[in-house]
Amino acid sequence: MQYTYLIIDLGCLLIPFLCSFYPKHAFYKEWKPFFISCISIAIFFLIWDEIFTQQAFWGFNPDYLTGIYVGNLPIEEILFFICIPYACSFTFFAFQYLLPHKKNNQKLIRVNNVLALFLLGLSILNYHKWYTFVTFLLLGVFLLYLQKVKINLFYYYLTFVTILPFFFVSNGILTGSFLEAPIVWYNNAENLGIRMFTIPVEDIFYGMLLIFSNLYVHQKIKQKLHAKS
């Protein structure tokens, strides 16, 4: 049991890692910009994670952990912010190869803007629920920012939709599906109390923020490194 969370992390990483060495389109050649961006984003999320853990907005079941902690965070939680972005960045990379030259369309732009405004509205209405407020506010602002700087959102949303089934499996296990108790528990006073199976609805948008921010920073750093070479 104590390796459950670690196995989930490594399970999410395994196939993308092995496929990273595909000779014709090798993702390992992008490791430098990926890890720079991943670590940068992870620092932000880990600070957020640490604060919310200290405040008991969420927490971790030691029965499913190896027992190694950094501050209040188990090492498995820290690895989560490396393994999941790696899998998603690889998926983004693969789609750019498999479906080249896809661009935004007006329908996608409208969907993005409506989603952003909807999330911002919910954040304001739920300002007293910290997980809901912070997640929806940050994602809503970030989605509007991506639109303002004219990012091609096609590959962002395609990546997100593609990983959703895997998200429901892995996050479902983390939140208690198929287990006697959840690995990660939540204080429902700080969220909407709406669950998709065992997953708080906020987790979906938290995941979207994690994925989109990693993809954006990765591409920006990749462009800067390419310009210097």
Write down the pLDDT at residue 171: 96
Low-confidence ranges of the chain (pLDDT < 70): 229
Helix 4-19 to helix 154-174 angle (10° resolution) is 150
Write down the pLDDT at residue 103: 87
Task: State pLDDT tens for residues 115-132.
Answer: 999 999 999 999 999 999
Question: Beta strands 69-70 and 73-74: pairing type?
Answer: antiparallel
Q: What is the 3-state secondary structure (H, E, C) of the chain?
A: CCCHHHHHHHHHHHHHHHHCCCHHHCHHHHHHHHHHHHHHHHHHHHHHHHHHHHCCCEEECHHHCCCCEECCEEHHHHHHHHHHHHHHHHHHHHHHHHCCCCCCCHHHHHHHHHHHHHHHHHHHHCCCCHHHHHHHHHHHHHHHHHHHCCCCCHHHHHHHHHHHHHHHHHHHHHCCCCCCCCCEEECHHHCCCCEECCEEHHHHHHHHHHHHHHHHHHHHHHHHHHHHC
Structural contact between residues 202 and 209, judged by C-beta atoms closer than 8 angstroms = no
Write down the pLDDT at residue 209: 98
Q: Which residues contact 159 (CB under 8 A, 6 or more apart)?
A: 88, 91, 92, 95, 211, 215
- pTM score of the predicted model: 0.96
Write down the pLDDT at residue 228: 79
Write down the pLDDT at residue 2: 92
Q: In Å, how far are 115, 118, 126, 144 from 111, measured between CA atoms?
A: 6, 10, 22, 11
What's the longest Cα–Cα distance across the chain?
53
Write down the pLDDT at residue 136: 98
Q: In Å, how far are 82, 92, 105, 219 from 224, measured between CA atoms?
A: 22, 19, 27, 9
For the chain, the domains span: 4-228
Question: Beta strands 58-60 and 69-70: pairing type?
Answer: unpaired
